[in-house]
Amino acid sequence: MTDHEPLYRSRPGAFDIRPASAAAATEVTDGIWVSPGLSNSYLLTTGDGRIVVNTGMGFEAPVHRANFDAVDAGRVRYVILTQGHYDHVGGIDVLRDPDSEIVAQANWRTWRDDNERLEPFRVANSAFAWIEAITAAIDHARARTGRAEVPPQSKLEPTITVDDTWTLELGGRRVELHATPGGETTDSLVVWLPEQRVCLCGNVFGALFGHIPNLVTMRGDRYRDALVFIESLERVRALHPEILLTGHHGPIVGDALIDAELVRLRDAVRHVHDETVRGMNAGVDVHTLMRDITLPPELEVGQGYGMVRWDVRAVWENYAGWFHHRSTTELYPVPATAVHGDLVELAGGPDVVVARAAAHLQAGRTLEAIHLAEIARHADPAHEGAREVLLAAHEGLLAASENFWETSWLREQLADLGASPPPATTPPPP
């Protein structure tokens, strides 16, 4: 248990993630530099060449490269990737030199192949959240380089793979790599600098430090196992880092603070896991568990990127799969929408259904209102009353949301309904 104020309250959130736009890299501590972006890229200087940790997106990489070359123009001896998502590996071809070693965890191929196999699906499913930031990043990269063309995303082809641990010595600097398969991907690893007690941990704990991790994302990804996440967290904790450098935002400094935060996060994830399993064994359905499982005050963590209720469902489905034992129709390819028209006709028409939806909304039952308004609109897509209920319901949910994915989704839905929701972020730098 911990009793300090949760760190997430004083750190930037997902809406503060900006495209690579810094005019220069910043020295975090001796010989370690950061060029921030949609995912941070780090430079380690040594007496015998440079080490780059993570490369950002392909179109951001020229900014990172220019920033790092201004610090040290030596050869890039190693490019180390802490995971296989594009915002970590996309800029390899720009950051590497011809003889650079590319280092990744041994499970890298699964994630590279997933990225390629599902690229149209994942681009379509994440555009609602990231399109503005990506457009700004591309515009800045063009302005910085003076070129209309921006580099494509690189294809990961490591020259060195790490199963569990690997150590390199370069120019007087010792660098240890440790596999952490409970991170955002099973090819996750962390970079440990024992002399400085610095851990470059990427997104092993999720995109935002101090927040509950997304055990599966809205955009579509493989499930993360809660217990493996805890094991990976403990592996980092056992290093007793004095500084954590994450994939987003600034460093976390102080071994006691870091340990307390990791204990709180570990216990929060364990609580969600254990309560979900307890409910499953008691025969409680997943929606009831999503509603009822919350964190006690002493385990408060942020929910700005993941959410407790989403992780409840992720734990349930990671163990139990797609069949929820609620209806025979789950076994067959006929969705509930197939009978929406029948329901509306039996109710006496869409006006009757929308009136009941409006009553639910007035009584504060927002999700029930959405269910009914969507049924009415499915039967009559042009029904203005259904649209108005959906607008009001989504505006209410948006006003109460502090989660990046949830807010981005709600803003997209409002736009589809013809509204102009307020921007979720301050404008990115020019």
Q: 262-312: per-residue pLDDT in tens?
A: 999 999 999 999 999 999 999 999 999 999 999 999 999 999 999 999 999
H helices of 47-185, where? 61-71, 86-89, 92-95, 108-117, 119-145
Residue 141 pLDDT grade (very low, low, confident, very high; cuts 50, 70, 90): confident
Residue 427 lies in a domain: no
Q: Are strands 49-53 and 76-80 parallel, antiparallel or unpaired?
A: parallel
One domain for residues 209 and 220: yes
pLDDT at 143 (0 to 100): 84
Q: Which residue has the higher pLDDT, 421 or 196?
A: 196
Sheet with 41-46, edge to edge strand ranges: 26-29, 32-35, 41-46, 49-53, 76-80, 101-105, 160-162
One domain for residues 281 and 353: no
Q: What is the mean pLDDT of the chain?
A: 94
Residue 71 lies in a domain: yes
Judged against a pLDDT cut of 90, whether residue 239 lies above it is answered with yes
One domain for residues 288 and 364: no
Q: Specify whether the CB–CB gap between 255 and 240 falls below 8 A.
A: yes
One domain for residues 164 and 40: yes
* pTM of this prediction exceeds 0.85: yes
| CATH code: domain of residue 235 | 3.60.15.30
One domain for residues 148 and 231: yes
Residue 425 lies in a domain: no
Residue 83 lies in a domain: yes
One domain for residues 180 and 51: yes
Residue 1 pLDDT grade (very low, low, confident, very high; cuts 50, 70, 90): very low
Judged against a pLDDT cut of 70, whether residue 3 lies above it is answered with no
Residue 379 lies in a domain: yes
One domain for residues 28 and 73: yes
One domain for residues 221 and 299: no
One domain for residues 73 and 23: yes
Whether the CA torsion 209, 56, 220, 109 is positive or negative: it is negative
Domain boundary among 265, 283, 307: 265
Domain boundary among 220, 247, 265: 265
CA Rg value for the chain = 23
> Which range among 101-115, 116-130, 279-293 shows the weakest confidence by mean pLDDT?
116-130
Residue 345 is part of which domain span? 333-416
Judged against a pLDDT cut of 90, whether residue 426 lies above it is answered with no
Residue 423 lies in a domain: no
Residue 422 lies in a domain: no
Mean pLDDT of 354-362: 98
Q: Torsions phi, psi of 47, nearest 5? A: -75, 0
Residue holding tokens 């839905």? 413
Mean pLDDT of 148-155: 89
Residue 145 pLDDT grade (very low, low, confident, very high; cuts 50, 70, 90): confident
Distance CA 87, CA 217 (A): 15
Distance CA 335, CA 332 (A): 8
Q: How many CA atoms lie within 13 A of 291 on its CB side?
A: 6
Number of separate domains in the chain: 3
Six token digits for residue 277: 């399993």
Mean pLDDT of 199-214: 97
CA dist 254 to 199, 245, 276, 356, Å? 12, 12, 33, 55
Beta bridge partners of 65: none
One domain for residues 381 and 395: yes
Nearest to 257 by CA among 13, 1, 7: 7
Burial of 98 (0-12, 13-18, 19+ CB in 10 A): exposed
One domain for residues 100 and 186: yes
Judged against a pLDDT cut of 90, whether residue 392 lies above it is answered with yes
Distance CA 281, CA 315 (A): 13
Distance CA 190, CA 188 (A): 7
Domain boundary among 320, 354, 387: 320
One domain for residues 249 and 271: no
What is the DSSP secondary structure assignment for residue 211, as one 8-state letter? B
Q: Specify whether the CB–CB gap between 179 and 84 falls below 8 A.
A: no
Q: Specify whether the CB–CB gap between 293 and 272 falls below 8 A.
A: yes
Residue 396 lies in a domain: yes
